[in-house]
Amino acid sequence: KFGLKITILEKKPAHQSKKNSHDQRTIAISEGTKKFFEKINIWNDINLFSEPIKKIRVIDRKIVNKLDFDNSRRESNLGYIVKNKELLNILYKKIRNSKNIKLFENVKISSIQQSNNSVSTFFNKSTLVSNLNIAADGKNSLVRKMLKTPLFSKNYNKKAFVITFTHSNDHKNTAFEFFFKNGPLAILPMQKIKENYASSIIWTNENNFLNDLINMSEEKIISILNKEINFCIGDIKKIVSKQLFNLSAHLNSKFYEKRLIYIGDSAHSFHPIAGQGWNLGMKDLETLTKISEKYKSLGLELGDNLFCKEYHDKTFYKAYRLFQITDKLDNIFKIQNSILSFTRSSGLNFIQNNKKIKNIISDFAMGIN
């Protein structure tokens, strides 16, 4: 919208998202991200496929150790669940309808050369010269490896079991987060699938346990999950999809190089305990938009060292903070001893009865602060 020429180099075929009708993975969009999407005029399209989260219930081991969150004071939701494939289809449609965006698919980048005035990207026997490169190529960023940007990484030696399923009771737009000694289990409300109530689960647990679980019969998986989630959404009826992901986190030492910035998972990734990693990537994007608008209005060049450094300064601390919060939360909730269990129980009870602290936590979950 600033009249800039944009070129997207996409490793995979962009039309792939339409073919993957079996892909039931979901994205949790925070209220803060939703507000940004409203500003750039794409929320109305996304909202057609979203299921709002109106309440969140946090449970530590036992149902008596609980925290309940809602957002009635702001008259808005805590978040929204959208299928990954629906979001991609909307974005690709917007891209193809934009006259100043070119999309190249099936791209293999061979090298990147930076100078004081421009950056050249070599791919598929072609060369692209630009003022700024935005590396948005994921957790295992090829660009980061090419430029040898240092990073700190942590392997949790666990996996996340992600499933989509239908169930007997209405979820009433409530998300649940159970904290067990082997890791958290989150239940996220989804739109109905073929007129059946639907949700997704993200369960962090030991590698061996989850490797065995994913290979069990559907009946056995349902039996184990029903036992763990205390039938809070009724009986699980059918498993629609299931996947396993290795659990790790990382943080680049800096979010920029000469005429290049890292955005989203290429810059940072986190333990999924707070469900905020993807939304922080959107916060990166919002920050980039604001800086670009400022430089354009002042007649300054986008992509020089001042521009890239300002982007880093406005994004790095938020990522560092979330990295520390998620890592420490994982440690606190997985330790199993009577003293810490009592401390956690007392802490949850104190927060449950303290509106001010609950409001701060809910604002954080919404991506507002």
What is the rounded average pLDDT for all residues in the chain? 86
Sequence-separated contacts (24+) of 19-25 with Cβ below 8 Å: 20/85, 21/85, 22/241, 23/83, 23/84, 23/85, 23/241, 24/83, 24/164, 24/200, 24/240, 24/241, 25/83, 25/84, 25/85, 25/162, 25/164, 25/200, 25/241, 25/243
Half-sphere exposure of 147 (CA within 13 A, CB side): 29
Query: Residue 34 above 80 pLDDT?
Result: yes
* Whole-structure pTM value: 0.86
The pLDDT value recorded for residue 2 is 87
The whole-number pLDDT of residue 182 equals: 81
Residues 144-160 pLDDT 10s: 999 999 999 999 899 99
**Beta carbons of 146 and 27 less than 8 angstroms apart:** no
From CA 302, how far away is CA 4, in angstroms rounded?
10
**CA dist., res. 83 & res. 199, Å (int):** 11
Do the Cβ atoms of 302 and 22 come closer than 8 Å?
A: no
pLDDT tens digits, 37-76: 999 999 999 999 999 998 888 877 555 556 666 666 556 7
pLDDT at 78: 83
b/e for 250-275, b at 16 or more Cβ within 10 A?
bbbebbbbebbbbbbbbbbbbbbbbb
Q: What is the CA radius of gyration of the chain?
A: 22
Q: What is the pLDDT of residue 184?
A: 84
Side-by-side strand order, sheet with 79-83 = 26-30, 79-83, 50-53
Residue 10 near residue 107 (C-beta atoms within 8 A)? yes
Q: What is the token pair recorded at 207?
A: 């590698």
Q: In the predicted model, is pLDDT for residue 317 greater than 70?
A: yes
Q: What are phi and psi of 61, to 5 degrees?
A: 65, -60
pLDDT computed for residue 60 by the predictor: 72
- Does the pLDDT of residue 314 top 90, yes or no? yes
Instruction: Give me the pLDDT at residue 238, please.
Output: 94
Highest mean pLDDT among 72-81, 115-124, 265-274: 115-124
Amino acid at 273: I
Question: Given this model, what pLDDT does residue 327 score?
Answer: 83
Tokens of 84: 């990954």
Tell me the C-alpha distance between 171 and 48, whole Å: 19
Q: Strand 66-70 and strand 50-53: pairing?
A: unpaired
pLDDT, tens digit, 9 for 90 and up, residues 126-183? 999 999 999 999 999 999 999 999 999 999 899 999 999 999 999 999 998 888 878 8
Instruction: Please state the rounded mean pLDDT for residues 256-285.
Output: 92
Spatial neighbors of 290 by CB under 8 A, at least 6 apart, are none
Lowest-confidence segment of 15-24, 172-181, 283-292 by average pLDDT? 15-24
Residue 79, token pair as written in the block: 């978040």
For residue 337, is pLDDT > 60? no
Q: How confident is the model at residue 20 (pLDDT cuts 50, 70, 90)?
A: low
Asked if 149 contacts 253 with a C-beta cutoff of 8 angstroms, the reply is: yes
Q: Among candidates 41, 148, 160, which has minimal Cα distance to 90?
A: 41
Cβ–Cβ < 8 Å for 154, 279:
no
Average pLDDT of 276-290? 94
CA distance 238 to 224: 13
Q: State percent of the chain over pLDDT 70.
A: 82
Q: What is the pLDDT of residue 355?
A: 60
